[in-house]
Chains A and B, each alone.
Chain A
């Protein structure tokens, strides 16, 4: 009981970072509208791309390619686009800016953990993205697809899938932020972010199945589905679409928790190493 109270007290220190993250996300409303616009254009582009692919398949628009009907494919891609934007955090960028400008000195002189500070800022930012943008968009998307009969719908099963999906949403946020933090740590050495960011985005988009479902990649796709990147897109979406059963979901969940634990331990050591190398830029 006493330990719980201590933990609560300790975490209370970080709630302002959560609020600050949320307010920072709210401060740039134009960015949010831009984000919705770019997402819509992306989905439209992919819609026409897959329409062309399915039209040329042997059974035309009724074909099932790698386990996906045309409607399922569009649902997958739309969900992936919304999901990727919902979990995106600015942790790596924030660390880079702190390192570049030397403002990291202000964080390091506060009585808080560097990792938790960034994690809670990320939670704040992502909370806004998930609650106010992603979940309403996903709700509309699924209502449209279900009411048009594009996807198979069983209320009880769907409710269970949604429950698992929400767990995996949290998992995705944690893994994504841990990877972002790791990348941010690398800027202690490189002092640059642009190349790293491009590299990481390419890897993430490819390995997570955000661009193309992993089932399209055959055997390699099966291997990829067990890597941490798959939890950033493929696994949660397949669970929501009912393509992974409860047993499979539980296995993936334990694997994801293992990845989170390993990455946080790695981040702890990485920070302790990087902090010794710190050079404050700009005097």
Chain B
């Protein structure tokens, strides 16, 4: 039996139409027109206990809206979300006891009081016993390195400290499900790494189910066994990370340092379907093995361009996502 069932979920927002200029603004005082924005369109999926699922998509794709409906914050226009076969809207308080939520841009910590107080408040709110609190608090402090700033006021914490604390706060009651909405946004590499390690460790230690939205593809590659890709409110892909990589496995990238005299024309002459991208100090060629003979291309690079320092690698999840979006656009056209 799946832990989370998302059934035919849709969400339509009514957005006021605002015209330009003073005249239009005055007009809206007397008659306001609205347009319907379909943020999520009839999506369904199930999630099992212990899964780490990456929910990815471009800005405005409907990721956060879905997560908020899954938490019971937003009311869906149609469909429902069940956790342990109970509707999140009808059993909100009961289900809230089972979930932990981190919204990367919205802290749940009490701004004006020392950090430790937030943990004490959450202990009472979730009715965590003294022994459980002690065990989990120490575990999370060690895992996320929180002890050094536990007595500081939240408003004086750095973003990285706050995010780690937010993350720990969402776990103090040992939730079965953890929703992470862009948990690594704006963080430096070290803090990101710490949070990723903590997610992995928690999943291993407590079998916590994690649903993660992010724009950082490294989060997905390092953490998720399954991904759901959403675009314009619709699911484009739902499945194993490895199988989508395999599906796009024919796509290769070659990266080599940029040099004076590099001639794009020559590459295009060899095969038009090769995408040439100029990175900071490098050139990246992307192509499908269905279109390009890799040996022949390498021969050109080595013999004609005298390139000896290059790297060949498979397509990353970021490019797969781009590819899926592009395919989706093409289908529409």
Contacts and interface: CB of A to CB of B under 8 A. Distances in A.
Interface string B4-29: 00000000010000000000000000
Interface in B150-174: 153
B154 to A, nearest CB: 11
Contact of B106 (A15, A16, A17, A105): A105
B162 to A, nearest CB: 13
A101 interface: yes
Which of A103, A108, A109, A279: most chain B CB closer than 10 A?
A109
A73 B232 CA distance: 66
Interface residues of B, number: 33
B117 A20 contact: yes
Nearest to A282: B105
Contacts of A218: none
Given A24-B112, A106-B106, A275-B75, A111 B125 contact: yes
Interface stretch (B64-72, B78-86, B291-299): B64-72
A23 B113 contact: yes
Contacts of A108: 71-73, 92
Contacts of A5: none
B107 A283 contact: no
Contacts of B112: 23-24, 27-28
A55 interface: no
Interface in A183-198: none
B125 A20 contact: no
Contact of B99 (A103, A109, A112): A109
A110 B108 CA distance: 10
Contacts of B101: 105-106, 109
A276 interface: yes
Contacts of A282: 105-106
B94 interface: yes
Interface in B84-106: 92-94, 96-97, 99, 101, 103, 105-106
Contacts of A113: 93
B120 interface: yes
Contacts of A109: 71-73, 96, 99, 101
Contact of A283 (B64, B117, B126): B64
A159 interface: no
B302 interface: no
B188 to A, nearest CB: 21
Given A105-B101, A282-B106, A24 B124 contact: no
B273 to A, nearest CB: 37
Nearest to B104: A283
A27 B113 contact: yes
Contacts of B13: 279
A27 B106 CA distance: 21
B108 A106 contact: yes
A202 interface: no
B166 to A, nearest CB: 9
Nearest to B169: A106
B125 A110 contact: yes
Given A111-B94, A278-B74, A283-B64, A16 B107 contact: no
A27 to B, nearest CB: 4
Given A20-B110, A105-B106, A110 B96 contact: yes
Which of B68, B94, B120, B127: most chain A CB closer than 10 A?
B68
B121 interface: yes
A268 interface: no
A115 interface: no
A67 B113 CA distance: 47
A112 B93 contact: yes
Contact of B107 (A13, A24, A28, A106): A106
A111 B75 contact: no
A109 B100 CA distance: 8
B125 A105 contact: no
A276 B75 contact: yes
A280 interface: yes
Given A27-B113, A111-B93, 8 more contacts: A16-B121, A19-B117, A23-B117, A24-B110, A106-B106, A106-B107, A106-B108, A108-B92
Interface of A: 12-13, 15-17, 19-20, 23-24, 27-28, 101-106, 108-113, 275-276, 278-280, 282-283
26 contacts: A13-B125, A15-B124, A16-B125, A19-B121, A20-B117, A20-B121, A24-B113, A27-B112, A102-B106, A103-B106, A103-B108, A105-B101, A106-B101, A108-B71, A108-B72, A109-B71, A111-B93, A111-B94, A111-B97, A112-B125, A278-B73, A280-B68, A280-B73, A280-B74, A282-B105, A282-B106
Interface of B: 13, 59, 64, 68, 71-75, 92-94, 96-97, 99, 101, 103, 105-108, 110, 112-113, 117, 120-121, 123-127, 153
